């Protein structure tokens, strides 16, 4: 076996990885140690346990670089993917229950979460399938196949009620985008999410007005007669804006809940108004049809919000969303985590209270301190400077991965690299946005920083497989 | 590949924007906003709660029924307490020294939990005691006084109606996370129903502590203080004077007296007797055990919580159903010879002329007439079976509100009992029952229970000739409008046109010639309509029931009086209800009826009610 050319290793990735892991352990120590016991290497404490996992991860990283041949990965991608899917199903029935979701296997003193490893297997199988010579997103069959590959683990993970982990898989859509999927899908998804939020925060009526505004803008850009379109759309929207006043209805301030019967009247007259306005203004059938389709889809979406919100979401999820948007204030109940998290981070100020100096985090004000809310400890003890430094480290890691992936000649390596970057991106964004109150509480760990063996090990394996693949590129 | 290079740039730029958003948010949370830092400095800052004044409860004319007075809570910060003269201290507050010592033993036991906190030592001390304490407060470091508002009651208006406030307990805190221990909350009656309106919002003043835990100064010159927002006043529909008069009439009787304004559903008076008098209400914690152990259960709001058989009053409902179903005409006559006899079954009746038409049947309250009517409703060939006809009959009664919660704004309102076909299946066997088996329902007896509120609502419905508004206690004002459900008319399934015959009968019951059952209720100058009821029950003497409204056209008030174990409806309930009507419409009792008032006020019927553990 040839020796591995260590000098060609991507030392930037390795360096950022080491910094994050070491910094992570320091913060796990800070958030889980108490002043009474001083033994750093006690494995009974969380930080001791975490240290063991770090050592194991290093060993794993070394093994991947030194001993496992590159050709293994494409070869095992299908069996690995199927095996992990099987584990995902099995754990939903045979797993042990932690915090209301059955997603852990217990093996003696250790427990691990198959969902963590499913990210690796999905990345590998996507790289394998999409990396084939004749794969193309312009073929319908290929497209559906790629979607099916990410939908399967999502479905199984939802079965375990791990909504947060399932959300991470949306990151693969970015990979699809890079590989040629139409950007419209992401655009439509973002618009749907935006309308959903507007419906909850403002009112269904206001969301419809906003929808009409978006459609008018789109029409203005693509239809070629921006001036008249904007004028007509603007006039219609402002007219409708005053409609509730004329009918003396209160449609703009109502937040959620039952639609009053009168509101249907409004929504029935509005499309008719649009049809007539645009027929007289443009007499252009195609844009009218698109407009109507877009409008109807949007209205259905807005009306289904109530249904989704009340029926599909579980109580705790609904409550978290309500707290996020300020529909409900509940600092001692559901909002407690976020409230305490913000207090901890906010009290850090510019430079923080110093390592081990945090009062909020060290005295257990914030729950799930060392796992999902580890960023609070960083924010409190290291301040704005430390928090931004961590953000910078992650940004470096992700951009470096993308830049490096772009340079690959091998399609498998490129796609795999993108997958790794997008998984880390989703984790970082969801986790940090949750702790700083930009997203509802979704319990997923911060990659490489959070306490938790499965997560650390999975991200280590994921990253080092890429580093090893990248190395192969140099050898040629 | 230029396209993929574009896409890479789009992705990279989006990612950078995302990270920038997070960094900006961090900048805002960590550098710009100060509120988080203040909360984190909680340990160094001392928050002193400012309690808001609770809103007053007013009657329909703006008179205060429940007001506020200032009293003081004595607070203690155990960690600051030095040795002090216990005897002098106890003399100030009229306390027992052993009690103080015991209190401090508790503080020591929980000292870890208490820490630097300030806790309530003694609640609601009077103004004089507080002033005496303030003069000597330098002798007692660690103690301080906080003004709190306590309730005052200018009218003797009912305890069950108003409810009381008391300090929240553990259970309450579990259900209402926005309360803190030491807070007061309304526990029953209006105080509970309108807690959110009345309570106001607490505020706080922030002080800085030094290293020795002494309060140094106002933090940031009070910039972050929050002033308490006083609770809103609640205007009720109650007529305070009428309520007090009602309480007087019901004194020493067990039962309820409810008056409603039919044109709005506003409750003018709601008496549940025996009640809690207002002196006890003001200091409920002191009287609590006494009230709870009272065998007549003054806490029990009979007006909405006590379903009882309605008795003959219910004949009105059956008459209306018969008219609507077409099986009864106003001129229909039925014979009655001291009762209704079929085979072995006999429903007795008193002696009166025979036969009678509908009007006279109401006037003389003939049992047989309604046995015939009820049977013709249930045996109507229009329906395939008795069961089907019964379900229809039940739907009619439910449209009057019987057997359902009316949806009033009074806490713990009960739905009452209406029998179901399944119940009769159990009693007699599946479909083995006939109209004759359930004949008691015709005269409001048997498996039927209505709260006095249901009956008052019936009186209001008849007064309105066929619809009711849900009875409620909150007056509609521009500042605090009432819930939409109180503005809706609820029509019964009986057409408006049928009600006038019933009203005519009810008028004759009061003002008719010989044989009229409720002549005692006639008031000179007021066209009052009424119907007596004498409800048999397994507990003792019959309950005395009367519903009425007045005037006959454009009624202003509808009343029910329910006197448990009182005997004939005409003996107690009719005079009580009619006196209330007279008081409301004329504001005084005419000389001819003074004797009636005297008789009612001085009578004590408590002995007639059997109670347990007395």
Within this chain, do residues B167 and B139 fall inside the same structural domain, yes or no? no
CA distance A342 to chain B (A): 7
Instruction: Tell me which chain A residues have a C-beta less than 8 angstroms from the C-beta of B178.
Output: 332
A254 touches chain B (CB under 8 A): no
Within this chain, do residues B475 and B341 fall inside the same structural domain, yes or no? yes
A332 touches chain B (CB under 8 A): yes
Q: Tell me the per-residue pLDDT of B26-43, one tens digit each, with 9 for 90 and over.
A: 998 888 877 776 665 554
Of B26, B36, B177, the CB nearest to A333: B177
Domain assignment present for residue B32? The answer is no
The predicted pLDDT at position A258 comes to 43
Q: Rounded CA gap, B295 and B312, in Å?
A: 29
Q: Across the interface, do A342 and B22 touch by the CB < 8 Å criterion?
A: no
Domain assignment present for residue B35? The answer is no
Within this chain, do residues B136 and B179 fall inside the same structural domain, yes or no? no
CA distance B180 to chain A (A): 11
A 175-214 near B (Cβ less than 8 A): 177-178, 180, 183
Domain assignment present for residue B613? The answer is no
Within this chain, do residues B480 and B467 fall inside the same structural domain, yes or no? yes
The predicted pLDDT at position A421 comes to 95
The predicted pLDDT at position B212 comes to 45
A359 touches chain B (CB under 8 A): yes
Write out the two tokens for B149. Answer: 């508002």
B66 φ/ψ angles, rounded to the nearest 5 degrees: -130, 120
Interface test with A, best of B3, B19, B20, B173 (most A CBs within 10 A): B19
Average pLDDT over residues B362-388: 91
Full residue range of the structural domain in which residue B96 is found: 70-108+117-146
Domain assignment present for residue B333? The answer is yes
Within this chain, do residues B261 and B228 fall inside the same structural domain, yes or no? no
Q: Tell me the per-residue pLDDT of B126-163, one tens digit each, with 9 for 90 and over.
A: 778 888 888 887 788 888 887 777 788 888 777 788 88
The predicted pLDDT at position A2 comes to 56
Q: Tell me the per-residue pLDDT of B555-597, one tens digit each, with 9 for 90 and over.
A: 999 999 999 998 888 899 999 999 999 999 999 999 999 999 9
Q: Which of residues B236, B261, B278 is at a domain's end? A: B236
Q: Is the pLDDT of residue B301 over 80?
A: yes
Q: Rounded CA gap, A51 and A44, in Å?
A: 11
Write out the two tokens for B363. Answer: 């006037």
Write out the two tokens for B410. Answer: 């009074």
Q: Rounded CA gap, B497 and B480, in Å?
A: 36
pLDDT, mean over chain B: 86
Q: Rounded CA gap, B479 and B200, in Å?
A: 15
ipTM: 0.83
Q: Across the interface, do B11 and A177 touch by the CB < 8 Å criterion?
A: yes
Within this chain, do residues B226 and B372 fall inside the same structural domain, yes or no? no
Within this chain, do residues B162 and B58 fall inside the same structural domain, yes or no? yes
The predicted pLDDT at position A387 comes to 93
Alpha helices in B251-299 (DSSP H): 278-282, 284-293
Please tell me the total count of domains within chain B.
Answer: 3
**What's the CATH code of the domain at B495?**
3.40.710.10
| Residues contacting residue A192 through CB under 8 Å, at least 6 positions apart | A301
The most distant pair of C-alpha atoms in chain A lies apart, rounded to whole Å, by 82
Domain assignment present for residue B330? The answer is yes
Within this chain, do residues B371 and B443 fall inside the same structural domain, yes or no? yes
CA distance A55 to chain B (A): 30
Of A183, A406, A436, the CB nearest to B26: A436
pTM given for the model: 0.56
Domain assignment present for residue B14? The answer is no
Cα dihedral A97, A100, A102, A105 sign: negative
The predicted pLDDT at position A119 comes to 92
Interface test with A, best of B30, B43, B115 (most A CBs within 10 A): B30
Q: Tell me the per-residue pLDDT of B464-514, one tens digit each, with 9 for 90 and over.
A: 999 999 999 999 988 888 988 999 999 999 999 999 999 999 999 999 888
Cα dihedral A31, A36, A38, A39 sign: negative
Cα dihedral B207, B213, B214, B216 sign: negative
Instruction: Tell me which chain A residues have a C-beta less than 8 angstroms from the C-beta of B21.
Output: 438
Q: Look at A136-150, A266-280, B261-275, B530-544 and tell me which has the smallest mean pLDDT.
A: A266-280
In terms of C-beta density within 10 A (0-12 exposed, 13-18 middle, 19 or more buried), how is residue B68 classed?
Answer: middle
The predicted pLDDT at position B1 comes to 45
Q: Across the interface, do B40 and A360 touch by the CB < 8 Å criterion?
A: yes
Instruction: Tell me which chain A residues have a C-beta less than 8 angstroms from the C-beta of B35.
Output: 346
Q: Rounded CA gap, A115 and A458, in Å?
A: 10
Residues of chain A with pLDDT under 70: 1-4, 33-44, 97-103, 107-111, 201-202, 222-225, 243-291, 306, 311, 323-336, 357-369, 474-476
A417 touches chain B (CB under 8 A): no
The predicted pLDDT at position B491 comes to 94
Domain assignment present for residue B33? The answer is no
Within this chain, do residues B84 and B57 fall inside the same structural domain, yes or no? no
Q: Across the interface, do A388 and B21 touch by the CB < 8 Å criterion?
A: no
Q: Tell me the per-residue pLDDT of B409-421, one tens digit each, with 9 for 90 and over.
A: 988 889 998 998 8
Within this chain, do residues B515 and B568 fall inside the same structural domain, yes or no? yes
Which comes out higher in pLDDT, residue B258 or B432?
B258
**What's the CATH code of the domain at B202?**
3.90.1310.10
The predicted pLDDT at position A37 comes to 44
Average pLDDT over residues B7-15: 89
Within this chain, do residues B590 and B536 fall inside the same structural domain, yes or no? yes
Domain assignment present for residue B447? The answer is yes
In chain A, where the domains are located: 6-182+326-471, 186-312
**DSSP3 helix / strand / coil % (chain A, rounded to 5):** 70, 5, 25
Within this chain, do residues B204 and B248 fall inside the same structural domain, yes or no? no
């Amino acid at each position: 076996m040839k020796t591995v050319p260590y000098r060609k290793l991507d030392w930037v990735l390795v360096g950022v990885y080491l910094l994050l892991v070491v910094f992570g352990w320091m913060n796990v120590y800070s958030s889980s140690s108490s002043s009474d016991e001083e033994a750093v290497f006690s494995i009974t404490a969380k930080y001791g346990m975490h240290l063991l996992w770090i050592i194991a991860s290093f060993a794993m990283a070394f093994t991947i670089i030194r001993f496992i041949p590159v050709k293994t990965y494409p070869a095992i991608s299908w069996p690995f993917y199927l095996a992990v899917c099987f584990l995902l199903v099995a754990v939903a029935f045979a797993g042990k229950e932690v915090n209301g979701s059955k997603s852990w296997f217990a093996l003696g003193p250790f427990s691990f979460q198959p969902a963590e490893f499913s990210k690796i297997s999905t990345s590998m199988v996507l790289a394998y399938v999409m990396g084939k010579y004749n794969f193309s997103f312009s073929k319908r069959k290929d497209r559906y196949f790629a979607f099916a590959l990410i939908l399967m683990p999502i479905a199984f993970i939802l079965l375990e009620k791990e909504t947060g982990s399932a959300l991470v898989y949306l990151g693969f859509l970015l990979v699809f985008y890079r590989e040629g999927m139409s950007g419209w899908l992401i655009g439509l998804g973002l618009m749907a999410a935006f309308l959903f939020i507007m419906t909850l925060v403002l009112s269904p009526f206001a969301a419809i007005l906003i929808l009409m505004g978006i459609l008018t803008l789109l029409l203005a850009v693509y239809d070629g007669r921006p001036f008249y379109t904007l004028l007509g759309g603007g006039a219609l929207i402002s007219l409708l804006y005053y409609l509730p006043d004329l009918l003396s209805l209160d449609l703009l301030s109502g937040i959620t809940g039952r639609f009053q019967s009168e509101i249907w009247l409004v929504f029935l007259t509005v499309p008719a108004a649009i049809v007539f306005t645009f027929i007289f203004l443009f007499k252009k059938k195609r844009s009218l049809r698109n407009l109507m389709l877009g409008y109807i889809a949007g209205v259905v979406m807005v009306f289904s919000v109530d249904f989704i919100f009340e029926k599909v979401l579980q109580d705790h999820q609904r409550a978290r969303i309500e707290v996020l948007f300020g529909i409900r204030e509940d600092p001692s109940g559901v909002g407690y985590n976020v409230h305490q998290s913000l207090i901890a981070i906010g009290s850090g100020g510019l430079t923080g209270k110093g390592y081990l100096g945090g009062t909020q985090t060290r005295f257990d004000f914030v729950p799930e301190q060392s796992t999902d809310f580890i960023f609070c400890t960083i924010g409190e003890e290291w301040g704005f400077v430390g928090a931004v430094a961590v953000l910078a480290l992650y940004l470096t890691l992700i951009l470096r991965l993308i830049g490096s992936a772009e340079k690959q000649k091998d399609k498998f390596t490129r796609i795999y690299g993108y997958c790794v970057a997008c998984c880390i991106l989703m984790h970082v964004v969801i986790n940090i946005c949750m702790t700083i109150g930009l997203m509802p509480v979704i319990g997923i760990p911060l990659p490489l920083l959070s306490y938790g063996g499965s997560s650390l090990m999975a991200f280590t394996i994921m990253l080092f497989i890429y580093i090893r693949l990248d190395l192969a590129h140099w050898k040629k | 590949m230029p396209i993929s290079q574009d896409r890479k740039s789009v992705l990279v730029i989006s990612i950078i924007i995302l990270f920038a958003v997070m960094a900006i948010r961090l900048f805002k949370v960590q550098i710009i906003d100060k509120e988080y830092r203040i909360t984190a400095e909680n340990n160094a800052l001392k928050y002193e709660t400012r309690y808001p004044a609770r809103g007053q409860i007013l009657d329909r004319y703006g008179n205060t029924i429940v007001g506020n007075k200032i009293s003081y809570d004595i607070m203690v910060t155990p960690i600051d307490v030095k040795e002090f003269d216990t005897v002098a201290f106890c003399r100030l507050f009229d306390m027992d020294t052993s009690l103080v010592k015991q209190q401090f033993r508790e503080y020591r036991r929980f000292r870890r939990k208490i820490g630097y906190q300030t806790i309530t030592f003694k609640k609601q001390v009077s103004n004089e005691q507080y002033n005496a304490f303030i003069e000597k407060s330098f002798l007692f470091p660690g103690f301080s006084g906080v003004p709190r508002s306590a309730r005052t009651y200018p009218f003797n208006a009912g305890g069950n109606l108003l409810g009381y406030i008391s300090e929240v307990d553990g259970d309450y805190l579990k259900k209402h996370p926005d309360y803190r221990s030491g807070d007061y909350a309304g526990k029953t009656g209006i105080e509970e129903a309108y807690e959110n309106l009345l309570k106001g919002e607490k505020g706080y003043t922030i002080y800085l502590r030094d290293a020795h835990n002494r309060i140094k100064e106002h933090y940031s010159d009070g910039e972050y203080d929050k002033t308490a927002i006083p609770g809103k006043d609640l205007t009720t529909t109650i007529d305070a004077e009428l309520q007090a008069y009602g309480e007087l009439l019901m004194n020493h009787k067990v039962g309820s007296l409810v008056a409603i304004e039919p044109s709005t559903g506003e409750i003018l008076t709601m008496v549940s007797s025996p009640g809690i008098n207002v002196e006890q209400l003001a200091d409920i914690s002191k009287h609590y055990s006494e009230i709870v152990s009272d065998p007549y259960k003054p806490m029990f709001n009979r007006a909405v919580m006590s379903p009882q058989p309605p008795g003959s009053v219910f004949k009105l409902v059956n008459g209306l159903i018969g008219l609507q179903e077409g099986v009864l005409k106003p001129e229909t006559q039925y014979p009655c010879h001291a009762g209704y006899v079929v085979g072995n079954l006999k429903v007795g009746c008193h002696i009166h002329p025979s036969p009678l038409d509908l009007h006279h049947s109401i006037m003389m309250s003939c049992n047989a007439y309604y046995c015939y009517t009820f049977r013709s409703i249930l045996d109507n060939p229009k329906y395939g079976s008795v069961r089907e006809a019964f379900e229809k009959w039940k739907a009619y009664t439910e449209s009057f509100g019987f057997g359902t919660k009316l949806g009033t704004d009074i806490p713990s309102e009960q739905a009452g009992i209406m029998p179901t076909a399944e119940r009769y299946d159990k009693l007699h066997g599946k479909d083995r029952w006939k109209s004759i088996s359930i004949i008691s329902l015709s005269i409001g007896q048997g498996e039927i229970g209505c709260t006095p509120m249901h009956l008052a609502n019936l009186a209001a419905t008849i007064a309105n000739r066929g619809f009711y508004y849900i009875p409620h206690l909150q007056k509609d004002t521009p500042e605090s409008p009432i819930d939409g459900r109180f503005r809706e008319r609820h029509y019964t399934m009986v057409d408006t046109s049928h009600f006038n015959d019933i009203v005519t009968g009810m008028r004759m019951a009061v003002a008719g010639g010989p044989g009229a059952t409720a002549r005692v209720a006639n008031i000179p100058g007021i066209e009052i309509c009424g119907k007596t009821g004498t409800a048999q029950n397994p507990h003792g003497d019959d309950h005395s029931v009367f519903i009425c409204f007045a005037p006959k056209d454009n009624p202003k008030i509808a009343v029910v009086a329910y006197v448990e174990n009182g005997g004939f409806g005409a003996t107690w309930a009719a005079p009580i209800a009619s006196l209330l009507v007279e008081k409301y419409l004329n504001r005084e009792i005419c000389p001819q009826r003074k004797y009636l008032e005297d008789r009612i006020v001085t009578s004590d019927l408590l002995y007639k009610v059997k109670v347990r553990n007395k």
